[in-house]
Amino acid sequence: MKKILVTGANGQLGSEIKMLAPNYPNFDFIFTDIEDFPLDQSEVIVANFKTIQPDIVINCAAYTAVDKAESDSIVADSINHLAISTLASLCAHSGAKLVHISTDYVFDGTSPIGYTESDLPNPKSVYGVTKLAGETACVKNCPESIIIRTAWVYSEFGNNFVKTMLRLMSERESLSVVNDQVGSPTYAADLAQVILTILTATKWEAGIFHYSNLGEISWFDFAQDIKEIAQKTCEIKGIPASSYPTPAERPAYSLLDKSKIIAVYGIVPMDYKISLKKMIERLK
């Protein structure tokens, strides 16, 4: 029975993997989070890794407070970069496989078309810079690792755009939402299934892959869809990102091209609206 270590198990993606774990009785899942597997303490990572001796590591843990990272770069780097360097080295030396989750923020958002895995990263925020450094360390220290870049993740677990919108739509008569940042949402439950599909595939093909749900929308469009599905009456107004300044710069266009993961692993991404309906139903 393969032993699978999942870090960041209480986050959105880790929680969704927990939900799916009973469907995979051939895997022995060990779910850890910051309390028992702190990614900002390398000596603890090493000690715990040697105790657990996993066959596979799914790293869902990350410093994801994008704006806070601008003034907290040392901690963000220790979690998003240095910890990944340590984990990747441990996996390489022990022969364990590593699946690491990254982000669309490694790109600058100036592309007119969806980003492919071979497009040159150019992060514009501390969060993006630290996540790219983590990717680089991952590839360098454990060339057989799989890195999955994703975007706009939401789930019924944790804090995210969908849950925030649902709450605000219940509290307010109108909302202003950015309408000039475009991408595609990712339902964490779908991403969790993708990871487990890869782990049970007949082949292991290392490298970087892109995954999100299908669709090309703005945050404003996303909010409108949430309103429609949840049958809210709140008025949604579109505003430019310049009217809502944030410490960290967001990519204006961060659609991820999913051709590679479809071709290599036969993954069929779900339309974002179908997944959004499923998530809102589960919340009810």
- CATH number of the structural domain spanning residue 139: 3.40.50.720
Q: What is the pLDDT along the chain (284 residues), one digit of tens a residue?
A: 999 999 999 999 999 999 999 999 999 999 999 998 999 999 999 999 999 999 999 999 999 999 999 999 999 999 999 999 999 999 999 999 999 999 999 999 999 999 999 999 999 999 999 999 999 999 999 999 999 999 999 999 999 999 999 999 999 999 999 999 999 999 999 999 999 999 999 999 999 999 999 999 999 999 999 999 999 999 999 999 999 899 999 999 999 999 999 999 999 999 999 999 999 999 98
Is there a domain that residue 181 lies in?
no
Is there a domain that residue 119 lies in?
yes
Contact between 270 and 187 under an 8 Å Cβ cutoff? The reply is: yes
Query: Which is catalytic among the residues 63, 115, 127, 187?
Result: 127
Is there a domain that residue 171 lies in?
no
pLDDT of residue 244: 85
Work out the angle at residue 40's Cα, subtended by the Cα atoms of residues 39 and 45, and round it to the nearest 5 degrees: 50
Q: Which amino acid is at 239?
A: I
Domain of residue 25 covers 2-160+186-213+254-270
pLDDT of residue 284: 86
CA-nearest of 38, 40, 20, 42 to 29 is 20
- Report the domain count for the chain: 1
CA-nearest of 83, 99, 1 to 46 is 83
Is there a domain that residue 249 lies in?
no
Is there a domain that residue 231 lies in?
no
Strand-pairing partners, residue 217, are: 183
Report CA-CA distances (Å) from 152 to 74, 212, 256. 24, 8, 11
Is there a domain that residue 239 lies in?
no
DSSP per-residue string spanning 187-222: EHHHHHHHHHHHHTSS----EEEE---B--EEHHHH
Let me know if 115 is a catalytic residue. Answer: no
Work out the angle at residue 147's Cα, subtended by the Cα atoms of residues 144 and 149, and round it to the nearest 5 degrees: 165
**Where do the DSSP E strands lie in 94-163?**
97-103, 146-150, 153-154
Structure tokens at 68: 């806070």
d(CA 209, CA 206): 9
- pLDDT tens profile 132-154: 999 999 999 999 999 999 999 99
Structure tokens at 27: 């895997």
Is there a domain that residue 129 lies in?
yes
Is there a domain that residue 166 lies in?
no
pTM score: 0.97
